Structure 1
């Protein structure tokens, strides 16, 4: 995930703190950022590029499987 997105999300969370607590907003923003980074680092995520590559591999594999299934069906078809 883009670090700027984490910064932006932490900033938006901190800005939702009531006005009376504005003195702690900066600390909260830093804490929100740390919690978000920690939580996201525990997730098993891939980049969009990696996902697209794997989606392409899967698509080609399915196409080959369908072609092989069609060939097998033609071979197994009883001759009349």
Structure 2
């Protein structure tokens, strides 16, 4: 789902920003970020790229079928 290293890096950066507070800040920030990200409908780049590839192949198939249909319709109308 969400890359843990990304969350930890973000939490560390935010923790450094508020470094004047107690040592538990990084853990609290990580928990807040995980909670916020879990409420979002996010996908990884890999999932996105995979779905994009599937969509591209589907688009190519639809285009080919539309071309075949146009040929069939043209031949059918010329037979009539």
Q: What's 2:50 paired with?
A: 53
How many angstroms does 1:74 deviate by?
1.6
Once the two structures are overlaid, the 10-residue window that deviates more, 7-16 or 32-41, is 7-16
Which portions of structure 1, spanning 4 or more consecutive aligned residues, are displaced by more than 4 angstroms?
A: none
Residue segments in structure 2 that go unaligned for 5+ positions in a row: none
Count how many residue pairs are aligned between Structure 1 and Structure 2.
76
What corresponds to 2:16 in structure 1? 15
Note the aligned Cα RMSD (angstroms): 2.2
Which structure carries more relative contact order (alpha carbon 8 Å, separation 6+)?
A: 2
Query: In 1, distance between residues paired with 2:59 and 2:44?
Result: 23
Q: Distance in 1 between matches of 2:50 and 2:21?
A: 47
Give me the whole-angstrom Cα distance separating, in 1, the residues matched to 2:46 and 2:10: 23
TM, length-normalised to structure 1: 0.73
Output the CA distance in 1 between the equivalents of 2:21 and 2:44.
37
Task: Give the TM-score of the pair, scaled to structure 2.
Answer: 0.73
Change (3 A) 1:74 1:13: same
The CA deviation at 1:52 is: 2.5
